[in-house]
Homo-oligomer: A and B are copies of this chain.
């Protein structure tokens, strides 16, 4: 195993270069471009008065998310879902994951009856788009909440500490952090972890489509993910303080 090297020269537990650009666009309350290496996702947070029916008269707010891939984000152009008339199962699955993850970063009872819509649009895909989206969406969310507070719309203090996400995989039997597309397609196992700053799990999703995995491998992947998420949370903090 000593002679395994990653195509991009990274250490096994090293993240790709992370860049978080705030105020990427000006119309939404929060707008962030997040980059994990060549993966680039535009994350916006828009605020709407009122909540969906199932939260009405609860005194609480709501947060929801939509993920999508631009047609030319991938190596082979992928068909636009609005034109095919079908939203793919994968798209739904990731949108739901982002929504659940970011609801762990907001205290809905402090939000008033407002809804935050997160949009995560992948401009360029090179693996890890869902984890980049979660990591960037937190920063957009933080900015949007600042706007709401400045406008006096939000009575309380709904923002919770950073939530971030990273992927880990087993590639040729090695635990590799933050997989680019080239590693992702040949990984035996793929694990996505979403974690709070307190080191608690929000989501753990491990899939062994090309091979199952034992308890020890799971543990090694969880360790690697935690290390990566700590660094991502530092990047989130740094971006917000810039």
Contact = CB atoms under 8 A, between A and B. Distances in A.
Interface of A: 25-28, 31, 38, 40, 42, 44, 46, 48, 66, 68, 70-75, 77, 80-83, 85-93, 95-96, 100, 103-104, 117, 119, 121, 123-125, 191, 195-196, 198-209, 212-215, 218, 222
Q: Is the interface of A mostly helix, strand, loop or mixed?
A: mixed
Given A80-B82, A191-B204, A200-B214, 19 more contacts: A25-B124, A26-B38, A27-B125, A77-B117, A82-B87, A89-B92, A89-B96, A90-B96, A93-B96, A103-B209, A104-B208, A104-B212, A196-B212, A199-B214, A200-B212, A201-B214, A201-B218, A205-B205, A218-B222
A116 to B, nearest CB: 10
A72 B203 contact: no
A212 to B, nearest CB: 3
Contacts of A83: 66, 87
